[in-house]
């Protein structure tokens, strides 16, 4: 079969553009997250000249900025209060400290919250010039696994695979002590143990006593445990964000949540529960999180912006996405979003169209739009001609600009 003629190709693209035309819509800034591998294990830039060229290329299409990770476990790896800021671009640290030592002085006389505060103060001092010139415009505070506000309930390095329900993360001696104290406080010390029969990382809800349809999560004990488990996560976020406000002053803060959308249509919402989001058919688990973020004037960055994984489970990423965004918008806090996978791997323009529709929903009764979009997946493949052309068009449409004839064909 011969390829379509340029005129036919143009007509097809024009039809697509009209169907997904965002000309004149609100300006949504686009930030690109830099990859973790741009430095080596000696905290040195691998290819400074190459990175500079890539940044210049991004600037040429009016990308609004970049995101850069820094990790406490890397920066303060050697000695207490000795910070290695040569690691300005960070490496992913797959572990996080238990929330149980937030206020326990077990880190050579320091609590975990004190450690985080001193780390944030050091960052603010080290990069004071960038803060003063507003080159650093926002700080996203990591509050759990992979920098997200959640328990590390589904670690791939421990064997978890999609769509496993994950496991509760409250078995260390500190959190077990906290649970025991919470149970004693209500006069039911026998409830001071984590659930039995909650399955393993790759279980399905029906295979467990806790998450099955009439499972223990519905019982008085189950409700007590899940409320304690989720509230401990929220309290952890509250403590760290309070210190972040002290360290960074009026610099806007952001907190990332992960969209645990598999099994969302099941009764128990097991993956959300093990992650610390007490959300199921009869309870909105995101409103309490949003209330905590609102107290600190923090943006909610929700990582569930495009949905492509198909699996024979009770999956509804779309429903979860709008539940979380509506909870945030009802509380009048800003919402940002980001993609989970590079769009060029997922049918290019269709993937971008879904991200745009979520960023600027056109069928809402009240006009709404996200405050920013973070693009994850920056690499050499994105800069290839076809992929980069799609990305350039995406940035234009996020900015509310018209996509012209030459943009469609080039």
> What is the per-residue pLDDT across 283-316, written as a single tens digit (0 to 9) for each?
899 999 999 999 999 999 998 755 555 555 677 8
Averaged pLDDT, 132-152 = 92
| Residue 318 falls in the annotated catalytic set | no
Closest by alpha carbon to 302, among 289, 292, 314? Answer: 289
Least confident of 13-17, 138-142, 191-195, 283-287: 13-17
Helical H segments across 267-376, by residue range: 270-275, 287-295, 317-330, 348-359
Confidence bin at 89 (pLDDT 50/70/90) = very low
* Candidate list 95, 126, 148, 216, residue with the active-site label: 148
Q: How far apart are CA 339 and CA 306, in angstroms?
A: 6
- Of 139, 140, 145, 155, give the one whose Cα is nearest residue 98: 145
Q: Long-range contacts of range 358-367, CB-CB < 8 Å, 24 or more positions apart?
A: 358/305, 358/306, 358/321, 359/28, 359/305, 359/398, 360/22, 360/25, 360/26, 360/28
Q: Which of 167, 216, 306, 338 is catalytic?
A: 338
* Window from 80-94, 160-174, 394-408 with minimum mean pLDDT: 80-94
pTM metric for this prediction? 0.85
Q: Using the structure block, give the residue that is written with the tokens 């050499």.
A: 380
Residue 148 annotated among the catalytic residues of the structure: yes
pLDDT of residue 341: 72
């Amino acid at each position: 079969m011969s390829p379509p003629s340029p005129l036919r190709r143009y007509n097809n693209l024009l039809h697509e553009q009209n169907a997904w035309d965002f000309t004149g819509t609100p300006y949504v800034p686009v930030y690109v997250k830099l990859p973790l591998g741009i430095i080596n294990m000696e905290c040195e830039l691998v290819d400074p000249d190459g990175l500079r060229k890539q940044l210049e290329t991004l600037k040429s299409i009016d990308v609004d900025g970049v995101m850069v990770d820094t990790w406490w476990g890397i920066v303060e790896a050697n000695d207490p209060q000795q910070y290695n800021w040569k690691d300005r671009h960070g490496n992913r640290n797959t572990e996080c400290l238990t929330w149980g030592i937030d206020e326990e002085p077990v880190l050579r006389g320091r609590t975990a919250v004190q450690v985080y505060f001193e780390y944030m103060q050091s960052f603010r001092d080290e990069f004071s010039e960038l803060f003063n010139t507003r080159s650093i415009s926002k700080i996203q505070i990591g509050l759990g696994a992979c920098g997200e506000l959640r328990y590390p309930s589904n670690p791939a390095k421990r064997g978890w695979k999609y769509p496993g329900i994950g496991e509760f993360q409250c078995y260390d001696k500190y959190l077990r002590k906290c649970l025991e104290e919470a149970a004693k406080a209500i006069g039911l010390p026998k409830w001071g143990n984590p659930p039995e029969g909650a399955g393993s990382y790759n279980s399905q809800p029906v295979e467990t006593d806790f998450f099955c349809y009439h499972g223990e999560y519905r019982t008085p004990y189950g409700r007590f445990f899940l409320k304690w488990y989720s509230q401990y996560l929220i309290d952890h976020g509250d403590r760290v964000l309070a210190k972040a406000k002290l360290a960074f002053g009026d610099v806007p803060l952001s907190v990332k949540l992960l969209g645990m959308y598999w099994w969302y249509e099941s009764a128990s919402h097991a993956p959300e529960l093990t992650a610390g989001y007490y959300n199921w058919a009869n309870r909105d688990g995101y409103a309490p999180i949003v209330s905590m973020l609102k107290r600190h004037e923090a943006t909610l960055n929700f990582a569930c912006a495009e949905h492509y994984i198909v699996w024979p489970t009770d999956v509804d990423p779309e429903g979860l996405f709008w539940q979380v965004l509506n909870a945030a918008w009802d509380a009048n806090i800003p919402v940002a979003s980001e993609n989970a996978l590079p769009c060029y791997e997922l049918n290019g323009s269709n993937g971008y169209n879904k991200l745009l529709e979520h960023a600027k929903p056109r069928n809402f009764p009240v006009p709404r739009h996200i405050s920013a979009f973070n693009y994850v997946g920056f690499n050499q493949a994105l800069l290839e001609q076809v992929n980069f052309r799609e990305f350039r068009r995406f940035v234009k449409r996020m900015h509310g600009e018209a996509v012209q004839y030459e943009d469609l064909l080039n």
